[in-house]
Structure formats: C-alpha cells, structure tokens
C-alpha cells in the first residue's frame, strides 16, 4: 500500500472542509472496497479522512412516513433492522444477497453507494482502463467481458455497478442526502449514479467536496409484493451476473404499480419507467411480464462473452415479477428467510 496521512473527522463540517482542502484525499468508513483498491494500487489517496466516528449511525423515522438511514449504518444493521425488515423487506433481501457477513458488518450505507466496479481490467494496473486512467482505452470491450454491461454502456467503458443494495434503493426511489461546501442537497436515487459516456472515471454525481449523510426511504415500501432475484456463478458470496429488484402494488391479480430495477447489467442500477408503466393496470400474467422484459432489454447490446446476459435478464425479469406477484399468501414464506434469495436451489 502507498503511504498516506490519516486524520479522524470530529464532525461533518470538518470532514467537508478536510476533503475540500486536498483533492487527493478520500473519506474512509468501512474500507471494504477502498483498502482493497489501495492494495491494488488503483486508489492512491494522499490522505484518508476517517469518518466512522461521525454521528451518522442511526435509522430514524422521517416526517413523511419513511425512514432515514444514516450513511454510517452498516449493511448488517440495515438488513436486520426491525423496521426495515417489516416495511422494506426488499432492501433487506438485496443487502443480504451481497458480500459476506464479515463484509456486511464493516461496509456502510454511504460506502455501498460509492463502491467501484469489479471490472477485472479496472483492477489490473497492467492493462489500459478509461475508468482508472482516462484516455487510455477500454480493455474489456474486446477482452473478456462476461461480467460486463449490456445496457447504457459506451465506447469508453462497459463496466457495471456491483451493488445489490443500490438496485433495491433504485426500485424504492430512495433519496441520497449529501452535504458539501455549498450546503445540503438531496439527490434522487436515479440521478446519483451516472452512465459512463466519455467520462467513465466519474461514477456518481456527488461533488468532490460532498459527503453522503443519509439515504431516505419514502413511505411506500412494497412490503407485500416484492422480490430480489440474484443470478450468480455460485450460490452465495458472488457478484450478480444479473439481478432484479421487483416491487409491485397489487389489487387482486391486477398490478396497480410496478417498480423494476436491474443489477449487473449497467454502469448504474438500471430502471426503466416506460417498461414499468406497461405493467400498470395489467393482469399479473406471464405474457405481460414478458412484454415488460422485452421492453427493458430492447436496446441491450452484448460484447461477446456477455451476450448470454440479454436472454438471462429477460428471464430473470419474468421470474422476479412472477415471484413478487405471487408473494401474497404463499410467498410470505420468503419473508421468513431474509438472508436467502427466494429462488436459490436447495
């Protein structure tokens, strides 16, 4: 690991002024991704600002009937929080589908949003990578790209965002609260992460002097009909090839409102409000699920090794919608096994 200096922030204001002073400084909380990137020589911060002792570690009721999750609440503490389990089980399920218990004990809510792609070329400093070294090249486009994006990619970058939690937060329309030199602002989840375009080095719309303070969940949690379906290379502790967060508001067998977000397919959690709208007011039957799946993947493009993801994603969408719609009586059992994706074979 390269040398760096270390400081511990005592309050949010001093954390912001510390980060604004040095553009090679970084915040550190759980460190599960950043320390790894530093060991790989991908991240080379001059200074680490330890924010773990800031008072951002609570889950609180919000005035609008939702919940506010402090940026430093660990993934474990969010996933097993009584209110989250009851009102936002989709979020619990998504978090528990990711990483390992050890990592979830360390990783924080804010850090999960800011984790970087696991593209192997991004990690390998011997290869060109536009995300790591802008203006070099994308090694993945003509390289091994089995895990890469099929939606929203650019000629400069086909990396995916690795988070499971963020896929659920996208479906739930969370809001990211941040503080910077110019004060506080709230960023709708869909606008937090970016597509790569010709600046893939920038993952999010967070400004350099800003810190995430909380993630707000709106009142509507889709607790009755939801699923997080994750398809991966092994049964546990692997990143998604494709994942689907499906949340439905049902009236009998009619879908009143549908939310769909996909993971493992793009540079950000992929939401398609047009495809969602196609489901609203429709019967929860396979034909309608298939139409929505076709719509979401209409512009999908494979790069060779990842071509399989297009069909896989379509089928995952259909299966997730079926699971979510059938939850009701029989599906309640899924809720009791929060640490497992409902679909996992035994």
Partner 1 sequence: MNNKSDSEIAGKVTASGPAKSSITLKVNGAERRMEIAPWTTLLDLLREYLNLTGTKKGCDHGQCGACTVLVDGKRINSCLTLAIMKDGAEVVTIEGLAGRDALHPLQQAFIEHDAFQCGYCTPGQICSAVGLMNEGRAKTADDIRELMSGNICRCGAYPNILAAIQEVTQAGARRTKR
| Interaction of residue 55 with partner 1, rule CB under 8 A | no
**Given the structure tokens 């963020």, which residue do they identify?**
166
Tell me whether strands 47-50 and 5-8 are parallel, antiparallel or unpaired.
parallel
| Interaction of residue 14 with partner 1, rule CB under 8 A | no
Question: Which residue, 3 or 23, is less far from partner 1 as judged by CB?
Answer: 3
Would you list the DSSP string of 214-283? Answer: EEEEPS----SSEEEEEE-SSSSSS--SEEEEEEEEEETTEEEEEEEEEESSSSS-EE-HHHHHHHTTSB
Q: How far is the CB of 230 from partner 1 (least distance, A)?
A: 13
Q: Which stretch binds partner 1 (CB under 8 A): 10-18, 255-263, 294-302, 338-346?
A: 338-346
| Interaction of residue 36 with partner 1, rule CB under 8 A | yes
d(CA 330, CA 50): 46
Angle 302-194-127 from CA coordinates, rounded to 5° = 60
Q: Which stretch binds partner 1 (CB under 8 A): 94-102, 153-161, 212-220, 290-298?
A: 94-102
Q: How far is the CB of 55 from partner 1 (least distance, A)?
A: 17
Which residues in the 300-319 window bind partner 1 by CB under 8 A? none
Q: How far is the CB of 4 from partner 1 (least distance, A)?
A: 6
| Interaction of residue 236 with partner 1, rule CB under 8 A | yes
Contacts of 212 (CB under 8 A, 6+ apart): 71, 109, 110, 113, 114, 176, 177, 178, 206
Contacts of 326-331 with CB under 8 Å at 24 or more apart are 327/224, 327/225, 327/226, 327/227, 328/224, 328/225, 328/250, 331/225
Single residue of 14, 20, 80, 194 touching partner 1 by CB under 8 A: 80
Is the CA virtual torsion 327, 227, 255, 315 positive or negative?
negative
* 3-state secondary structure string across 304-325: CCCCHHHHHHHHHHHHHHHHHH
Which residues in the 194-213 window bind partner 1 by CB under 8 A? none
Q: How far is the CB of 243 from partner 1 (least distance, A)?
A: 17
| Interaction of residue 333 with partner 1, rule CB under 8 A | no
| Interaction of residue 4 with partner 1, rule CB under 8 A | yes
Question: Which residue, 50 or 326, is less far from partner 1 as judged by CB?
Answer: 50
Q: Which stretch binds partner 1 (CB under 8 A): 93-101, 150-158, 186-194, 265-273?
A: 93-101
Q: Which of 70, 76, 67 is nearest to 107 (CA)?
A: 76
Report the first-to-last Cα separation within the chain, whole angstroms: 41
Site track for partner 1 across 101-140, x = CB under 8 A: xxx-xx----------------------------------
Q: Which stretch binds partner 1 (CB under 8 A): 47-55, 190-198, 300-308, 316-324?
A: 47-55
d(CA 162, CA 114): 10
Q: Which residues bind partner 1 (CB under 8 A)?
A: 1-6, 28, 31-32, 35-36, 38-39, 48, 50, 52, 76, 80, 99-103, 105-106, 235-237, 339-340, 346
């Amino acid at each position: 690991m390269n040398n760096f200096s270390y400081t511990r922030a005592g309050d949010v204001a001093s954390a912001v002024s510390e980060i604004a002073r040095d553009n090679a400084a970084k915040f550190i909380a759980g460190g599960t991704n950043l320390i790894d990137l530093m060991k790989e020589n991908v991240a080379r911060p001059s200074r680490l600002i330890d924010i773990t002792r800031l008072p951002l570690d609570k889950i609180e009721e919000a005035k609008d009937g939702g919940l506010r999750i402090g940026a430093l609440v660990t993934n474990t503490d969010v996933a097993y929080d009584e209110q989250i389990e009851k009102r936002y089980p989709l979020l619990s399920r998504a978090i528990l589908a990711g990483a390992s218990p050890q990592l979830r004990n360390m990783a924080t809510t804010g850090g999960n949003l800011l984790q970087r792609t696991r593209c192997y070329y991004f990690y390998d400093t011997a290869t060109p990578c536009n995300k790591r070294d802008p203006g070099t090249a994308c090694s993945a486009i003509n390289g091994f790209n089995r895990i890469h994006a099929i939606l929203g990619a650019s000629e400069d970058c086909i990396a995916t965002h690795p988070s499971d939690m963020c896929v659920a937060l996208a479906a739930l329309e969370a809001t990211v609260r941040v503080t910077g030199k110019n004060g506080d602002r709230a960023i709708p989840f869909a606008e937090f992460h970016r597509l790569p375009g010709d600046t893939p080095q920038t993952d999010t719309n967070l400004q350099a002097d800003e810190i995430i303070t909380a993630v707000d969940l709106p009142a509507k949690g889709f607790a009755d009909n939801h699923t997080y379906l994750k398809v991966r290379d092994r049964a546990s502790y692997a990143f998604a090839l494709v994942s689907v967060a499906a949340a439905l508001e049902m009236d009998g067998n009619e879908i009143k409102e549908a939310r769909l977000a996909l993971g493992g397919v793009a540079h950000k959690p992929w939401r398609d409000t047009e495809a969602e709208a196609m489901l609203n007011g429709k019967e929860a039957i396979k034909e309608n699920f298939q139409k929505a799946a076709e719509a979401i993947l209409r512009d999908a493009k494979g790069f060779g090794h990842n071509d399989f993801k297009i069909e896989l994603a379509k089928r995952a969408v259909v299966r997730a919608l079926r699971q979510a719609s059938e939850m009701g009586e029989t599906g309640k059992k899924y809720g009791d096994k929060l640490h497992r994706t409902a679909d996992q074979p035994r």
